[in-house]
Amino acid sequence: MDAMPTNNRTKQRRSGGLTLLLYQRTLHPEFFKILEGEQVSRRAYEADIWLVEGGHVITFTAGKTTLSEVIVTNNDTLNDRNLLQSIQCRGEKYHEMTAPGGNIRYMISTQEEQLTQTLYEATKSEIREYAMKRELMMADIPAAGDRGESLGVLDIERRSHELLVQSFHLFDDTQLVIKTQAIIEVAKNTD
């Protein structure tokens, strides 16, 4: 059974899907294969945004408080030190919290869809065109080992007291599309 060729696979759900991890610390870049990155610096906060193989990482610092959002397919290399939350990105979810320290509010909605091959290909093409037209952070990840090709896109809106990040992660081997919308904001009364 284990020797079954991967090209004969039917649409199988990715074993772990994407996992949302929230840390109250900065994560070292060596934990990830960073494909694209950007730094944002505002008076109220600083942020590092990485599009990584299998997901993305956002590190948001306001004053002495840091909150890191990690959304990845494989989190085996990460430890639990200062881990605040771990949530599977399955179906539709909404999560909201205030980081310990009280000066960073975090809100995210996630949506997972498994599509037919035809609809998946059309969606992937549409998202790629949208990303290229708007010059968004984008990475095509080639197939490797037992993993098929994937596409990651981040749409980043940088405001004076908040960061809005919309992500699209598409996985060819399962025709899985995962969309997230996060708002990370500095509480207005704590600049």
Q: What is the largest CA-CA distance in the chain?
A: 60
The Cα–Cα gap between 35 and 101 comes to: 32
Report pLDDT for 32. Answer: 92
The Cα–Cα gap between 141 and 123 comes to: 17
Alpha carbon distances (Å) from 180 to 1, 102, 118? 35, 23, 22
Strand partners, 143: none
Nearest CA to 154 out of 126, 181, 119, 177 is that of 181
Token reading at 155:
């749409």
Report pLDDT for 15. Answer: 42
Residue that is written with structure tokens 């708002």 in the block = 183
Q: How many CA atoms lie within 13 A of 162 on its CB side?
A: 12
| Tens digits of pLDDT across the chain (191 residues) | 344 343 333 344 444 478 999 999 999 999 999 999 999 999 999 999 999 998 999 999 999 999 999 999 877 778 889 999 888 888 899 999 999 888 999 999 999 999 999 999 999 999 999 999 999 999 998 888 888 899 999 999 999 999 999 999 999 999 999 999 999 999 876 44
Token reading at 34:
């960073």
> Would you mind telling me the total number of residues written for the chain in this entry?
191
